[in-house]
Structure 1
Amino acid sequence: MTSTNRPATVSRRRALQASGAALAALAAPALVRAQTPKIRIGYWPIAAGLPFYSAVELGYFKDAGLDVEVQRYAGAQQIMEAMLSGRSDGSANGTGSANIAIGELASPGTFKLFCSNPSNAKNVLDEVLVPAGSPAKTIADLKGKKVLSGPGIQNTTLAKTVLERGGATGATVTELPIGQHVAALAAGQADACYTLEPTGTIGRMKGATRTLEAGVIARYILGDPMAPWFGGSASLTSAFIRQHPEEARKFITAYGKGVDYVRKQPAEARGFLKGYTAIEGALTAEVPLAAYTMYNEFTTSDIAYFQKFFDLFSDKGVFSARLKVDSMLYKG
């Protein structure tokens, strides 16, 4: 009887083994997917984030096998706080470098900058706008006036310093989301605003505002209208880089392709501002673009200007201590 049942027992065993192998094969892709981390990247709707927008829309991250979650925030400070609390893994370009630095001072070793977006009088990002009919001709003409700035400590500190150094004594600075700057000026709620592109382009094309001066940080903070102001940076948290080194390298490489695309095909890249910023359609062709510097492209001069920008915040008491830019740069 035992020998009669043996073939049936063997058959059942083989069937179970085959079934187990089939289940394992079906489960394998799910296991691979589970091991691929979601990379949560925060951005706020300004033109400087263009390399990130391009990389997402052109599929550079997907082509690298990465799962990138796009997170939109109202301001750079919120992005930093999300990274600090573990709700976000990185930031797109345009996120205030000083905002990130404040997070770094609060929790040393948390942030690594891998790309920054220098701007100046030529590669315009920062600007002071006034209503189209304003009689103001210089920054000094804003003495005693009400001036808006974007939200967060970087924007307000820079706005106050530009006004101070430009001779606009007695001016007051009020925070307001940059998407509301044009409407506020048009409605007479303020006399001017320190803002970032594409705000100036939107106001100009609507006939509501005009640019009083562009590249104001390079001139009034760095002392040279053509100096590179590294006001915004793309970053990853050190925790993500440490836990997922391969994915971090792939992400930075794919992001670099986005930078290269913006450099080589700016006209086409501008189209990706739609949906990510407040500017759409033919207006995208009018937006001036910041430049971009990857972590392995920084020169000694670049780092010196970047440090001068950071030192303003330590001099003003915004930073609790002097922070060395080089310590925050991703090393590859």
Structure 2
Amino acid sequence: MSLPPLTRRAFGAVSALSAAAVWAPAIGVRAQTDGAALGRVTVAVGGQGVLYHLPLALADALGYFRLEGLDVVVRDYSAGALAWQAVQDGAADVCSGAFEHVLRAQARGHAYRALVVQGRAPQLALGVSLRSVPAYKDLGDLAGRKVGVSSVGSSTHLAASLMLMRAGVPLREVSFVGVGSGTNAMNALRSGQVQALCHADPIMTLLEQKADTRIVGDLRSLKAAQDMFSGTMPASCLYAPQAFIQKQPAQTQALVNGVVHALKWLQTAAPADLVKAVPPAYLMGDRGLYLAAFSRVRETYSTNGLMPDEGPATALRVLSRVLPELAEAKIELARTSTSDFVRKARQKYSV
């Protein structure tokens, strides 16, 4: 049976998500009406509107960076790997993205550090198109199929790889296809370009509510992440080159202060507070959908911004299974993150 295409409302909603990058920089600019004493910091993000980056978005939207005297400009990219590349190329100062990029950077001889942890679980899910795979029974049915990820090398790619490996599916039997985020990712699944998709919310909740997509792998809760990784897996964080941290300690501290302030706000925020705070485009035209997606991942946000004690070791152990460069490198875990800025921010905001 053929399934109906995206409704006009749903299509417009996802298109709005893709355009969400327009909102965040504008909010930051409007907030700086009286100038920023510490100047400007550019943050690269892979998929600005997804819940994965919510603490950063809130710090921006609520004016917390402005309170710190910092002008933050967010530049959006279609995938986390591309945002990381932007920092390497000098197009951005700091990245909001997956902690594993810090590990991979060190393996390649680059000094990066995670500054503040936003998420304690990947917040990703793997969905299968029942239109493309109508007789789907288990992950083994994806052998010989195409799995959509934001880009090869991004956290969506690694999460999908880990889920498939755990199910005993050889990765050589699966083709990973970079499909970006937002409208592009959803259309790639619904058009049959890919038969499965690994993505973040609220996209996956929207797909889950449709009859043609089945969630077959879920890392949107602390329990699911613990079961998968046998430890706390640091995911979304702000990270920066060591050179930037050393040259701009005041800007770095202000940036961390803003995110820690947002994490504190998030602990007690009511649903009505959240939908008022985020840019309207993030809601995808459906507040109920957005809040349903948020409720799935709310517990995974860090309560204080600190790197979990076992976090770096867990990440290295897990990711070494799929990244030969990490398995072969001598990673100095003590150099992958710093808690100095978070500790000062916690004192300031009593977190």
TM-score by length of 2: 0.72
Cα distance, 1:216 vs structure 2: 8.7
Q: Does 1:304 align with 2:304?
A: no
Specify the code of the residue in structure 2 equivalent to 1:163.
L
Q: Does 1:159 align with 2:163?
A: no
Cα distance, 1:274 vs structure 2: 4.5
CA deviation vs aligned residue, 1:157-190 (integer Å, no higher than 9, x gap):
4423422331334232222113223222222222
Q: Which moved more, 1:235-244 or 1:62-71?
A: 235-244
CA distance in 2, matches of 1:285, 1:204: 14
* Paired residues of 1:55 and 1:61 also in contact (CA < 8 A): yes
CA distance in 1, matches of 2:177, 2:80: 16
- Aligned ranges 1:1-40 → 2 under 5 Å: 36-40=38-42
CA distance 1:90–1:328, shift in 2 (3 Å) = same
* Paired residues of 2:102 and 2:112 also in contact (CA < 8 A): no
Paired position in structure 1 for 2:142: 142
* Paired residues of 1:138 and 1:213 also in contact (CA < 8 A): no
Cα distance, 1:52 vs structure 2: 0.7
Cα distance, 1:319 vs structure 2: 6.7
> Secondary structure at 2:177's aligned position in 1?
strand
CA distance 1:239–1:35, shift in 2 (3 Å) = farther
Q: Does 1:284 align with 2:290?
A: yes
CA distance 1:192–1:218, shift in 2 (3 Å) = farther
Specify the code of the residue in structure 2 equivalent to 1:149.
V
> Secondary structure at 1:152's aligned position in 2?
coil
Q: Does 1:85 align with 2:89?
A: yes
Paired position in structure 2 for 1:331: 339
* Paired residues of 2:264 and 2:303 also in contact (CA < 8 A): no
Paired position in structure 2 for 1:72: 76
CA distance 1:319–1:70, shift in 2 (3 Å) = farther
Cα distance, 1:33 vs structure 2: 5.9
Q: Does 1:187 align with 2:186?
A: no
CA distance 1:320–1:41, shift in 2 (3 Å) = farther
CA deviation vs aligned residue, 1:224-268 (integer Å, no higher than 9, x gap):
477433233212332232222222212211110111222221623
* Paired residues of 2:112 and 2:239 also in contact (CA < 8 A): no
Match of 1:56 among 54, 60, 73: 60
* Paired residues of 2:245 and 2:252 also in contact (CA < 8 A): yes
CA distance in 2, matches of 1:305, 1:270: 34
Cα distance, 1:42 vs structure 2: 1.3
* Paired residues of 2:275 and 2:283 also in contact (CA < 8 A): no
CA deviation vs aligned residue, 1:112-131 (integer Å, no higher than 9, x gap):
432141226xxxx1111012
Q: CA RMSD in A?
A: 3.2
Match of 2:126 among 100, 117, 128: 128
Specify the code of the residue in structure 2 equivalent to 1:131.
S
Specify the code of the residue in structure 2 equivalent to 1:330.
T
CA distance in 2, matches of 1:139, 1:106: 32
Paired position in structure 1 for 2:248: 244
- Aligned ranges 1:186-225 → 2 under 5 Å: 186-215=190-219, 224=228
Q: Does 1:115 align with 2:124?
A: no
Cα distance, 1:150 vs structure 2: 1.9
* Paired residues of 1:75 and 1:177 also in contact (CA < 8 A): yes
Q: Does 1:172 align with 2:213?
A: no
Q: Give unmatched runs, 5+ long, in structure 1.
A: 1-31
CA distance 1:260–1:312, shift in 2 (3 Å) = farther
> Secondary structure at 2:297's aligned position in 1?
coil
CA distance 1:165–1:310, shift in 2 (3 Å) = closer
Specify the code of the residue in structure 1 equivalent to 2:111.
G
Paired position in structure 1 for 2:236: 232
CA distance in 1, matches of 2:80, 2:36: 30
CA distance in 1, matches of 2:226, 2:36: 47
Paired position in structure 1 for 2:27: none
* Paired residues of 2:41 and 2:72 also in contact (CA < 8 A): yes
CA distance in 1, matches of 2:202, 2:36: 39
Aligned length: 294
Specify the code of the residue in structure 1 equivalent to 2:241.
T
* Paired residues of 1:273 and 1:279 also in contact (CA < 8 A): no
* Paired residues of 1:221 and 1:309 also in contact (CA < 8 A): no
CA deviation vs aligned residue, 1:30-83 (integer Å, no higher than 9, x gap):
xx9696321111112221100011111110111111111111111112221222
CA distance in 2, matches of 1:320, 1:217: 30
* Paired residues of 1:128 and 1:212 also in contact (CA < 8 A): yes
